[in-house]
A and B are shown apart, each in its own frame.
Chain A
Amino acid sequence: MTPTGEGRSIRFLGYAASVAVVLLLWQYLSSRAIIPLLFPSPLSTLRVGLGLAAKGQLQADLWASLARILAGFALGSALGVTGGILMGSFRPARLFFEPYLQLLRFLPALAWIPAVMLWLGTGERAKIALLAYTTVFIVALNTMVGVTRVPRNQVRAARSFGAMRGKIFFLVTIPATVGYMLAGMRLAMGNCFMTVVAAELVASDSGLGYLIFSSRQWMQTELAFVGIFVLGLLGLTADHVFQATSSWLLWRYDGASRGRPTQ
């Protein structure tokens, strides 16, 4: 067995042991609960989850949430990258927008829910707007920082080769900033998963957030547990897919991946 293979096995065993301990602890605590209805066991949660999946409701809620997250994340990332590049490249743009960026990034999407519902209604547009909001600032800030941290000698070298502003922008600034953009987007994706629950709590009839919220109505705590568990798994998977895709497509631009041998 190779050392890498051995390392992987040890890691897998560690994770498996951790999950097993938590499940056992959960089972034990739920069996001791005074009102079992309020703290369902892992087995009853699994049963309810499988029942929902058999009816197709779990998949429908999962896809509804995922579609919202992807749409909001894509829109927020596009706006964030554009804004970050503008602010990093042009001082007047930075002076104008940065105060808003610094103020708004501390205001959670949750605080905007009532206003957004009034402006955009209770449909998909409002939810996507909230998810875009939660994405845009972190991506913009990271991109802006990336643009301002392009090593001066890289720009000077390009200038001495005869590159003008446009070529420096496309051949140096953008590639040098990709790592910062990706780091911002990864953080923002985590925020999206938190925000989607809040967005679906209010005026929604689908999605994992709705599933979690509706459990209270029917006194079915298992539903909330299923929703939380599936959302967590979905977030973990999305993060892994994002990392794998970005390091596959953009590895040469990502500082963290530059260790990959090229020949």
Chain B
Amino acid sequence: MAYITFRGIDFRYGAQGPLIIRGFHLDLRRGEFFALVGPSGCGKTTILNVLAGFETPTAGEVLVDQQPVRGPQRDRIVIFQEPDSLYPWLTALENVQFPLRVLGVGRSERRARAEHALRLVGLQGHEGKHPAHLSGGMKQRVQLARALVLEAPVLLMDEPFGALDAQTRLILQEELTQIAVRTQRTILFITHDIHEAIFLADRIGVMTAGPESTIKKIVEVELPRPRARGSAAFGELYEETHQILSEEVRRVLRGEDSLL
């Protein structure tokens, strides 16, 4: 049975705005790592925001564990692309403690759990640093630790490594794979990078070009972990996904050309 269900989601901004998403259906299994790829502006982040409860769909509904999504909940934590969701006046440790502080967890338990989460993402020794003194990759790790500390069953990751350099990105992808396997969270991961999607996900949903975009095809990634990026099977999956995605990207480009 599906753990998360998007049922016929339509979405437009405002009453008169263009329909960005139309008839979006998707089922996610519990503990699954699902990557969503698609051309720029197709509404990937909108889908994530609808599941997070930040946006209300124009039509359709989202169910998490058979309960309709009515707003943000601490069972679905978002890791944003830009680490500006971290609180710059708090240290890394205090940022990770923040959700527990909101919940009213006692000081010593809060600290112990936050330290454990920071260790899990490899940030021991940096607890007292403020975000201004952390690198982009470290800030994303703090975001991840802050999501893990709540033990939320669902993580929503909106291009979390998009702004990082290539090397840091590869390292964090490997660490995220380990964390995902170890903690068995259900993860919806938005990315532009097909390599990243194949390396991380159990399934990849390719979206059509907007407006009125929806899921075009779901690619099953049945490769054993850890995945070898240079393997033949990896390459085949890349070709398959790239072909589906590039048709949609060409549609976008043709649309832009016709406007010129």
Contact = CB atoms under 8 A, between A and B. Distances in A.
A171 B98 contact: yes
B52 interface: yes
Interface in B94-137: 98-99, 101-103, 128-130, 132-133
Contacts of A158: 98, 102
Contact of B128 (A161, A167, A172, A262): A262
A175 interface: yes
Contacts of A171: 98, 101-102
Given A161-B74, A175-B89, A252-B89, A156 B102 contact: no
Contact of B72 (A160, A262, A263): A160
A178 B87 CA distance: 13
Contacts of B71: 159
Interface residues of B, number: 32
Given A153-B80, A154-B84, A156-B54, A161 B129 contact: no
A158 B98 CA distance: 8
Nearest to A263: B128
Contacts of B76: 160
A29 interface: no
B82 interface: yes
Chain A contact surface mostly:
helix
Contacts of B73: 160, 162
Contact of A175 (B74, B82, B87, B103): B87
Nearest to B84: A151
Interface string B132-152: 110000000000001000100
Contacts, number: 75
Given A261-B133, A262-B129, A161 B103 contact: yes
B88 A258 contact: yes
B85 interface: yes
Nearest to B130: A262
Interface string B69-93: 0011110111010101111111100
Interface in A113-158: 151, 153-154, 156-158
Contacts of A163: 102
A259 interface: yes
A258 B89 CA distance: 8
Contacts of B91: 262
A156 B76 CA distance: 12
A162 B88 contact: no
Contacts of B128: 262-263
A168 B80 CA distance: 18
Contacts of A261: 133
A161 B86 CA distance: 13
A252 B130 contact: yes
A99 B87 CA distance: 32
A169 interface: no
A255 interface: yes
Interface in A178-218: 178
A259 B146 CA distance: 23
Interface of A: 151, 153-154, 156-163, 167, 171-172, 175-176, 178, 252-253, 255, 258-259, 261-263
16 contacts: A154-B86, A157-B85, A157-B146, A158-B102, A159-B54, A160-B52, A160-B76, A161-B77, A161-B98, A161-B150, A162-B103, A167-B102, A171-B101, A252-B89, A258-B132, A261-B133
Given A172-B87, A258-B132, A263-B128, 16 more contacts: A154-B87, A156-B72, A157-B80, A158-B98, A159-B71, A160-B74, A160-B77, A161-B99, A161-B150, A162-B74, A162-B99, A171-B101, A176-B87, A255-B88, A258-B130, A262-B130
Interface of B: 52-54, 71-74, 76-78, 80, 82, 84-91, 98-99, 101-103, 128-130, 132-133, 146, 150
Listed from nearest, the 9 A-B pairs whose CB atoms lie closest are A153-B85, A161-B99, A263-B128, A157-B85, A160-B72, A159-B72, A252-B89, A162-B74, A258-B132
